[in-house]
Amino acid sequence: MCWAQYARAAFQAPSQNQQTRRGLSGRRERWGGRLGRASRVAAGMSRPFSLRTIDDASINTALAAGFFVLAALHGFALPWLIEQDPLAAWLLLVAVLASNTHWALIHEAIHGSLYADKRLARYVGRALAVVWGASFDLLRWGHLLHHVHSRTRRERSEVHAGSKPTLGFTLAYYVRILGGLYCAEVLASLLMLLPKRWLHLLAHRLSSQDNVIEALAQRLLDPATLAALRADAGLLLLWHGVALWGYGEHASLYLASLAGRALLISLVDNVFHYGTELDAPRRAMNLKLSPLASLLCLHFNLHGVHHWRPGVPWRRLPQVFAETKATYHDDWWPALLRQLRGPLAEETLAHGARRCG
The least confident of 15-19, 196-200, 346-350 is 15-19
Q: pLDDT band for 349, please (50, 70, 90 cuts).
A: confident
For 22-81, the pLDDT digits (tens) are: 554 555 555 555 545 545 544 444 444 456 778 999 999 999 999 999 999 999 999 999
CA distance linking residue 174 with residue 184, whole number of Å: 14
The least confident of 7-11, 81-85, 255-259 is 7-11
Residue 282: phi and psi, rounded to 5, are -90, 10
Q: Computed over its alpha carbons, how large is the radius of gyration of the chain?
A: 30
Residue type, 292: L
Q: What is the value of pTM for the model shown? A: 0.83
Question: Which of residues 84 and 352 earns the better pLDDT score?
Answer: 84
For 311-326, the pLDDT digits (tens) are: 999 999 999 999 999 9
Total residues found in the chain within this entry: 357
What is the per-residue pLDDT for 274? 95
Count of helices and strands (H, E) across the chain: 18, 4
Question: Which of residues 34 and 153 earns the better pLDDT score?
Answer: 153
Mean pLDDT across the stretch 103-130? 97
Residue 354 has pLDDT above 70, yes or no: no
What is the per-residue pLDDT for 11? 39
Domain ranges (residues) in the chain: 53-271
Average pLDDT in the chain:
88
What is the per-residue pLDDT for 269? 95
What is the per-residue pLDDT for 9? 43
Nearest to 185 by CA among 143, 153, 227, 154: 143
Mean pLDDT across the stretch 83-88? 94
Helix (H) or strand (E) holding 259: helix 251-269
Mean pLDDT across the stretch 339-355? 75
Q: pLDDT band for 262, please (50, 70, 90 cuts).
A: very high
For 209-237, the pLDDT digits (tens) are: 899 999 999 999 999 999 999 999 999 99
CA distance linking residue 176 with residue 209, whole number of Å: 19
As to burial, measured by CB atoms within 10 angstroms (0-12 exposed, 13-18 middle, 19+ buried), residue 66 is middle
What is the per-residue pLDDT for 86? 93
Residue 268 has pLDDT above 70, yes or no: yes
CA distance linking residue 233 with residue 193, whole number of Å: 7
What is the per-residue pLDDT for 42? 45
Nearest to 142 by CA among 218, 88, 240: 218
Nearest to 110 by CA among 161, 145, 158: 145
What is the per-residue pLDDT for 192? 97
CA distance linking residue 161 with residue 163, whole number of Å: 7
CA distance linking residue 173 with residue 339, whole number of Å: 10
**To 10 degrees, what angle do helices 223-247 and 118-132 make?**
40
CA distance linking residue 128 with residue 132, whole number of Å: 6
